[in-house]
Amino acid sequence: MKVPEEIVELIKREEYFTIVSHLNPEGDALGASIALALALKLRHKDVQVFNSDGVPYMYNFLPSSELVESGIDRERLKYSTLFVVDCNDLERVGLKDPECKSVVVIDHHRTITDLGHIRWIEPESPAAGLMIYNLIKELEVNINREIAVNLYTAITVDTGTFRYENTTPEVLRVAAELVDAGVNPGEVSRRLYESWSVNKFRLFVSMLKTVEIVHTGNINSAIATINLDMFKETGADASDTENFINFPRMIDSVDISAIFREFEAGCWKASLRSKGNCDVSLIALHFGGGGHKNAAGYKVRGDIGDVRRGLVEAIQDSLSSR
């Protein structure tokens, strides 16, 4: 990975920086932004970090997470360099018509806009955090524990803690260096994966009890329900259901994982996930929803029995005959 010389030069030259990342930020957006801010501060720069949604509760553990502000100083922005990190679209940032000195995009998503006077986009990079790591190296800033924890979190979140296909030898070597710099990998993982509330766990068990595996043609679907009663009984809420959809996927033979979540009486939000070539966006479209090939969703109203049967029929119609 080659860090553009012009970014390094610009940082050396300028004094005021504003770092922004996307709405609903996760570990990569936050960790990469904060690590960059800390490095710039060590170079005596004036830095503001902005995220429209602020820092979600589960990421409060990131050192210097209090740097992230959910309001932006537009006067200050006028004479600042704007770093757009982990996205390349101001709509995803939630920032309209910013007036600033110049815009630098640092992202690892496939480019969709032409935002940025300087655009550094590495679709092959597993995480924006890995790009920031390389940038900090070029800036000759010492990676202290605070920076290391932010970079480690960024990298682990976007590689599923080294479980995804994008886990390269470079990622593992950088991780080793960050642990040398003071990261406690067990502690970071605890924060990321072992911070469920008891209520969330109870809802999880209730949801798993409803999993039914349905065979339609050559497709196996695991279908689950979370109704309003289950929320009431467990004390959990909708935000607790994030990630639940990944669990039925653990079953080898399951091609599609679906959860129906009741958001008001008789109204259901269907989340669909699939493996490999199974395109669930076709099914979501059928019900007026949308999404991508392996992750899609739709809303539907009715008796849960009918709603589940409707999904199975749609799977049969659109996929089983492939």
Kindly list the residues in this chain that would bind its own copies in the complex (CB under 8 A).
Answer: 160-170, 172-173, 175-177, 179-180, 184-187, 189-190, 193-198, 200-201, 204-205, 208-209, 211, 213, 248-253, 275
Q: How far is the CB of 179 from its own copies (least distance, A)?
A: 5
Rounded CA gap, 261 and 223, in Å? 11
Q: Which is nearer to its own copies, 113 or 161 (CB)?
A: 161
Q: How far is the CB of 162 from its own copies (least distance, A)?
A: 5
Helix (H, G, I), strand (E, B) or coil at 88: coil
Q: How far is the CB of 280 from its own copies (least distance, A)?
A: 15
Rounded CA gap, 80 and 66, in Å? 20
The one-character DSSP state at 229 is: H
Go through 246-285 and write b for each residue having 16 or more CB atoms within 10 A of its CB, e for each that does not.
Answer: ebbeeeeebbbbbbbbbeeeeebbbbbbbeeebbbbbbbb
Q: Which is nearer to its own copies, 103 or 155 (CB)?
A: 155
Q: How far is the CB of 148 from its own copies (least distance, A)?
A: 11
How many of the other CB atoms lie within 10 Å of CB of 185?
15
Residue with tokens 């012009």: 6
Residue with tokens 């710099």: 181
Q: Which is nearer to its own copies, 250 or 265 (CB)?
A: 250
Q: Which is nearer to its own copies, 104 or 224 (CB)?
A: 224
Question: Contact 274/294 with Cβ under 8 angstroms?
Answer: yes
Q: How far is the CB of 243 from its own copies (least distance, A)?
A: 10
Q: Which is nearer to its own copies, 142 or 253 (CB)?
A: 253
Q: How far is the CB of 113 from its own copies (least distance, A)?
A: 29
Helix (H, G, I), strand (E, B) or coil at 278: coil
Q: Which is nearer to its own copies, 53 or 177 (CB)?
A: 177
